[in-house]
Structure 1
Amino acid sequence: MASQYKGHLMLTNIKWSPVEFKTYPGHLSNRAHELPPVDLFVTTADPVLEPPIITVNTVLSLLALDYPANKLACYVSDDGGSPLTFYSLLESINFAKLWVPFCKKYNVKVRAPFQYFSDQEPLIFGGISSDFREEWKKLKNEYDKLQQKIEEATKHCHPYHLNYMFDDFSKIERGNHSSIVKILWENKDNFPEGLPHLVYVSREKRPKHAHHYKAGAMNVLTRVSGVMTNAPFMLNVDCDMYANNPQVVLHAMCLLLESNHKGEEYAFVQYPQFFYGCLPGDPFGNHMIVLQEYLMRGIAGIQGPLYGGTGCFHRRKVIYGESPVQPKNTRSNVNGKSIEMTLKSKFGYSAELVVSVANLLSGKNKKMLRPSDISSSVKAAIEVADCSYESNTDWGTNVGWVYGSATEDILTGLGIHKRGWRTAYLAPNPHAFLGCAPSGGPACLTQQKRWATGLLEILFSRNNPVIATITGDLQFRQCLMYLYINLWGARSIPELCYALLPAYCLLTDSSFMPTVSKKAFLVPASLFTIYNLYTLLEYLRCGLPVRAWWNYQRMARIISSTAWLFGVLSVVLKLLRLSETVFELTRKDQNNQDDDADIDPGRFTFDDSPIFVPGTALVLVHISALGWTLLRAVRNSGFTSRSGLGEIICSAWVVLSLLPFAKGLFRRGKYGIPYSTIFKSKILVGLFIYFCISVSRN
């Protein structure tokens, strides 16, 4: 608990000057001819962990945004090179031709079909025109057909491999294939009310070439879109993060097209991450509502929010490495031959990409107003998607998404802030994007482990925030914010020590807390009470129940003793050059009515991963310590040991926080802890008890 109090002091810096933006997109909707083009990026990597129907819904929600269609282009990065994902997107085009006009005709609020059609209200209430009712039924029927086709293809019942469009997938090998760039739909007539461009991208992968996970995929999308549409602004979303607010682009443009009170442009506009299908009480503590309400608004008042990896509108020139104040001679001579050589060394050998970069940086981008002819750029797009294209360039270092961390988003945002840019945090109503939160133990802890690993990698690299403050333009308070975030995983070490301390005292008949009869006991008791009341008040002010607060406190202890601890170990092994960190995908759950009867989505689940060993060992240690204390009290006819009530309360608090593990000891199936995990945990418990006995004897 002490580590929480220390961290709370750093939180004061973050929460000191909160900022909230209020935008009026209606002012821009009447100036459609002045709106700039925007490229939309969707990333997916595995059709098993990220079902294609989820990706399709995200894409459909983006195609139906309230923005001129001839100024939008949607690029889908499929890092798995899956013919199933490609087939699903291809089949969705015919449905999109019906869906997009329907959404705009009736001003549909939720434009992800799976969410829209899950609500039967349009047909229940009266006052609805017969035309709408008929169109609704037709669209619902078409979506059901689309869903069925994708499900059949998933079961390999559909012969999609016979189509000529799938020739590039015929001999594809996962992790070892050439670049694939296919235009699924092209808005050739440049109609503002039509469908935006839709492009499928699967970059080249070879076993001997590092692909840099999501950061590498984002850089490929940046280059491919650069030679095709080259929009000055880019949105990136994960495949499960659909657009919940159809005016999301207009909201972002309200900030990106204007400057702040100091005359500064915003590098990017970050939207908060909210989730659909939220379980009552947030049993896994991963909805981050309070964190975004207080923490993100506070960060927005310093130098701006960190980049969250999804739901973010970027200024392309910033991704290309520009600083807020660019030397005049660089822009005036950007089309000169000497500058051309500089751009080639920085951005790569593609003549088409160099020209697009030069046009963008000089403000002479000819494609900015009418990005309609993209079929002629496919060859260049395939070229810049090659795995060897980035060799001897600045991609991944000074240009694009930065490599070197499992949390490439935080690292990239840090680099942007280091150059002196300010960023903006925007939380409109309704929420801009809604995603799929991980559920169950394995998915939640896998995500948290990746975050802890990536954040610590940044801290122990040349890109850490302290160096960025000394050598760059990262503000001091922003540096403290990054340090607080980067040290999340490191908290697991002191928290583990504090968690073991009560059990150690009970087993060795010692104490670390003042006795209840002494006034000194009021100090830790007051700190404990005040801290928990303060955090509880934050939840209540956000309209959340007490149960949600408790679930977050419980999951914070579980995550710290498991996922964060393994994140620290991963970084230590990397620093010792004993292993490399691996980017682990989080499973995206798919609503399946057939499975609902067999699933209790709010219960904690386990698997045989070693990540559950520390938590299991910790709860066994405290159960043993409490049992030993009770046995000693019975034997001595009362509590006569030096361990007091304070140690017993602390030990019971740890068991209560790890209650899912305690219950898992007696359950079976996925809700129970595997025997192999219990066996490994018992070995650790035995070693700890042996250590305690050895100390007590001395």
Structure 2
Amino acid sequence: MVMENKTSLPLYEKIWVKHTFSRVMDSFTLLLLFLLLAYRVSSYNNHNFSCFVAFLCESWFTITWITTMSTKWTPAHTKTFLDRLLLRVSDSELPALDMFVTTADPVLEPPIITVNTVLSLLALDYPANKLACYVSDDGCSTLTFYALVEAAKFAEIWVPFCKKYNVQCRAPFRYFCDEAMANNNDLPQFKHDWLKMKEEYEQLSSKIENAAQKSIPCQLMGEFAVFSQTQARNHPTIIRVIRENKGISDVMPHIIYISREKRPKQPHHHKAGAMNVLTRVSGLMTNAPFMLNLDCDMYVNNSKIVLHALCILLDSKGEKEVAFAQCPQRFYDAVKDDAYGNQLVALPMYIGSGFAGLQGIIYAGTNCFHRRKVMYGLSPPNEIQNAKKGQGFTNGTFLSEKETMQKFGTSKGFVESATHILEGITSDLHKSLDLEAASKVASCDYEYNTAWGKQVGWLYGSTSEDVLTGLKFHTKGWRSELCSPDPIAFMGCSPQDNLGQMAQHKRWSTGLLDIFLSKHCPIFGTLFGKLQFRECLSYIWITNWALRSIPEICYALLPAYCIITNSSFLPNKVSIIQITYYKNCCLSSKHLICM
């Protein structure tokens, strides 16, 4: 009876946090903004142009503050129960997981960083025969492929070492830089093995570093021969199985390298296009019901993170409602002052947890566990179990075989795998690693006249494809959950200079504004979809991030404008004091210059 009760308990719990003081202060700020607007309206006849501009700016600030308050009002986080999961599901019954790592430039994203991300994924505390690691190289770099081949050899000894001694941080470059980690185990055998592993990793790093200094990293023979006539933006599909899992007794997952076909006159859709290729190739090869995507600079910091995420995705309620589980971004390279705010401390703490208390956290583009059938266009609730073989199920409608091929493409193998996922068939997922069929679905013209990028997979039309794709799921009625176990799941590196930060913010701001001004605008999602009202306000808050600069700059320039035109946008008594102060400052500066 006790065992039955434990197996019927929920696998995770959502905990709402009450920030009473924060709510009071936020409400007081909103009251002040309303009083200011009331003053503007009541004294409208006495106002000039500067007052009108101030009124417009203050109205924008009020609307922005309302959306901010709505987002922050009910923060929440989740607590997962691994013991309940392990009681309910045995190791042999755990679902398979396809892991995607994306990289695009071997200069901006050094292969040694990508290698560490891959090594940390290979060493997860999860059955190796249930894992497959796919690395997407949009730069078609021989160096990246060479680094992965060498890393696979090192992984043969690294993975058993991590699992034998229960190593927490499984990215070698972080593990070996902390000498304290070598002293947390007093066993003589551990110290011997630790020194050996460190020496092996240093040799791996030296090989990759030496290869990076050469124009051609290695001899273009054998498995490297395919790179002899390739260019970064003009090459055929390259797919190579670097390491194949042999079965239950094998300690290493699949490792598969993918560089999708690129042609100068063909649209590639940036990261969204790469993610859709990964989805199709993995659907043909391993077809796991769940997918994890990581940027190449994010490594696993919690080796049990897959189990934590499955507590959410396999829960009886979560299985019907949750589309994806998003882990927060944290960074290991924190600087003392962080003048540029690259650590994103406040955003996930306040806004992120606020999203989690609504319809769900936004999709951040990395550190995210996806449900494959949702990525294929399935809408909640899940009623696919009784679907007939040979038919697809999407948006509550059964599709014929012809319609399914028009939706997913002309590859019969992929259509069959997609149909199995939509029907809930998860047995016999490890297929033969057919490189010829995989190359076909990774070609430039495969997506023509299909639903890829529109209804299926990662959506096209914005450089912030992550937020757009998550918005699509929420508009359909799915929820998402914030997965934040202790220790933190993933760690990464952030821009260390102003130029890198500006480039990143430019991409975010333009991409988010594209979403707000497009047919995917969150307002339409509430009016014509299933996007909840407060979730809509939160999406409005984040997609209007770039527009906020306009009223902020205008408001900041108003004092200078008022001095030049001898006008005021503040109440009379205050404005006289203000203008007198600015005039005195100007006269003093002029006097000093003359002296």
Normalising by the residue count of structure 2, what TM-score does the alignment of the two structures yield?
0.84
Matches of 2:555 and 2:152, distance apart in 1: 56
Structure 1 214/629 Cα, relative in aligned 2: closer, same or farther at 3 Å? farther
Matches of 1:365 and 1:385, distance apart in 2: 24
Structure 1 105/503 Cα, relative in aligned 2: closer, same or farther at 3 Å? same
5 Å-filtered alignment, 1:252-651, equals: 252-260=309-317, 264-325=320-381, 331-332=387-388, 334-335=390-391, 339-368=400-429, 371=430, 373-375=431-433, 377-514=434-571, 630-633=585-588
On the 8 A contact 1:359/1:366 being kept in 2, the answer is: no
Structure 1 333/290 Cα, relative in aligned 2: closer, same or farther at 3 Å? same
Q: CA deviation at 1:335?
A: 4.4
Matches of 2:573 and 2:162, distance apart in 1: 65
Q: CA deviation at 1:265?
A: 2.9
Q: CA deviation at 1:159?
A: 5.2
CA-to-aligned-CA distance 1:610-665 (integer Å, 9 cap, x gap): xxxxxxxxxxxxxxxx998634246699xxxxxxxxxxxxxxxxxxxxxxxxxxxx
Q: CA deviation at 1:19?
A: 1.9
Equivalent residue, structure 2, for 1:56:
115
CA-to-aligned-CA distance 1:337-362 (integer Å, 9 cap, x gap): 97221210000000110110111111
Q: CA deviation at 1:328?
A: 5.9
On the 8 A contact 2:385/2:423 being kept in 1, the answer is: no
Q: CA deviation at 1:495?
A: 1.1
On the 8 A contact 2:146/2:217 being kept in 1, the answer is: no
SS of the aligned residue for 2:245 comes to coil
Matches of 2:518 and 2:62, distance apart in 1: 27
Equivalent residue, structure 1, for 2:208:
150
Q: CA deviation at 1:50?
A: 0.6
Which moves more between the two structures, 131-140 or 25-34? 25-34
Structure 1 283/100 Cα, relative in aligned 2: closer, same or farther at 3 Å? same
Structure 1 478/487 Cα, relative in aligned 2: closer, same or farther at 3 Å? same
5 Å-filtered alignment, 1:154-173, equals: 154-156=212-214, 160-173=218-231
On the 8 A contact 1:10/1:484 being kept in 2, the answer is: yes
On the 8 A contact 2:143/2:217 being kept in 1, the answer is: no
Structure 1 388/520 Cα, relative in aligned 2: closer, same or farther at 3 Å? same
5 Å-filtered alignment, 1:149-298, equals: 149-156=207-214, 160-191=218-249, 194-260=251-317, 264-298=320-354
On the 8 A contact 1:334/1:361 being kept in 2, the answer is: no
* Aligned with 1:84 (options 127, 135, 143): 143
On the 8 A contact 2:239/2:257 being kept in 1, the answer is: yes
- Counterpart residue type for residue 164 of structure 2: K
- Which ranges in structure 1 are unaligned for 5 or more consecutive residues? 522-625, 638-698
On the 8 A contact 1:514/1:520 being kept in 2, the answer is: no
- Counterpart residue type for residue 479 of structure 2: R
CA-to-aligned-CA distance 1:174-229 (integer Å, 9 cap, x gap): 111100110000012333x5101000000001111100000000000000000000
Compare relative contact order (CA 8 Å, sep 6+) and give the higher one, 1 or 2: 2
CA-to-aligned-CA distance 1:430-474 (integer Å, 9 cap, x gap): 111111111211100111111110011011111111111122111
- Counterpart residue type for residue 362 of structure 2: L
Normalising by the residue count of structure 1, what TM-score does the alignment of the two structures yield?
0.72
Q: CA deviation at 1:168?
A: 1.2
Matches of 2:575 and 2:588, distance apart in 1: 22
Note the aligned Cα RMSD (angstroms): 2.5
Identity among equivalent pairs (%): 50
On the 8 A contact 1:259/1:266 being kept in 2, the answer is: no
5 Å-filtered alignment, 1:660-675, equals: none
Structure 1 632/159 Cα, relative in aligned 2: closer, same or farther at 3 Å? closer
Structure 1 519/508 Cα, relative in aligned 2: closer, same or farther at 3 Å? closer
On the 8 A contact 2:67/2:540 being kept in 1, the answer is: no
Matches of 1:159 and 1:323, distance apart in 2: 47
Q: CA deviation at 1:517?
A: 6.4
Equivalent residue, structure 1, for 2:153:
94
Equivalent residue, structure 2, for 1:643:
none
Q: How many pairs are equivalent?
A: 527
Matches of 2:213 and 2:590, distance apart in 1: 64
SS of the aligned residue for 1:448 comes to helix
On the 8 A contact 1:507/1:628 being kept in 2, the answer is: no
- Counterpart residue type for residue 111 of structure 1: R
- Counterpart residue type for residue 351 of structure 1: K
Structure 1 329/97 Cα, relative in aligned 2: closer, same or farther at 3 Å? closer
Matches of 1:186 and 1:113, distance apart in 2: 22
